[in-house]
Amino acid sequence: MREFKKHRSSQKSLAVFLLQVVGVLVLFVVTVASVRAAAGMYGKLATATAGQSEAERELATLEAQRVKVAASVAELSSERGTEAQIRQRYGVVKPGEGEIEIVRDSAALTPPAPEKEGWWRGIFRALFVW
Beta-carbon contacts of 85 under 8 Å, excluding residues fewer than 6 positions away, are 75, 76
pLDDT in tens, the chain (130 residues): 456 566 667 888 889 999 999 999 999 999 999 999 999 999 999 999 999 999 999 999 999 999 999 999 998 899 998 888 888 888 888 888 877 788 877 766 676 667 777 888 878 888 887 6
- How far is CA 87 from each of CA 64, 71, 90, 101, 102, rounded to the nearest angstrom? 26, 18, 6, 18, 21
Residues 125 and 115 sit within 8 Å (Cβ to Cβ): no
Q: Is the whole model's pTM more than 0.75, yes or no?
A: no
Per-domain residue ranges of the chain: 10-93
Q: What phi-psi label fits residue 96: left (phi over 0), alpha (psi between -120 and 50 degrees) or beta?
A: left
- How far is CA 82 from each of CA 37, 57, 75, 92, rounded to the nearest angstrom? 61, 33, 7, 13
Which of 95, 98, 69, 72 has its CA nearest to residue 84? 72
Single-letter amino acid code for the residue at 61: T
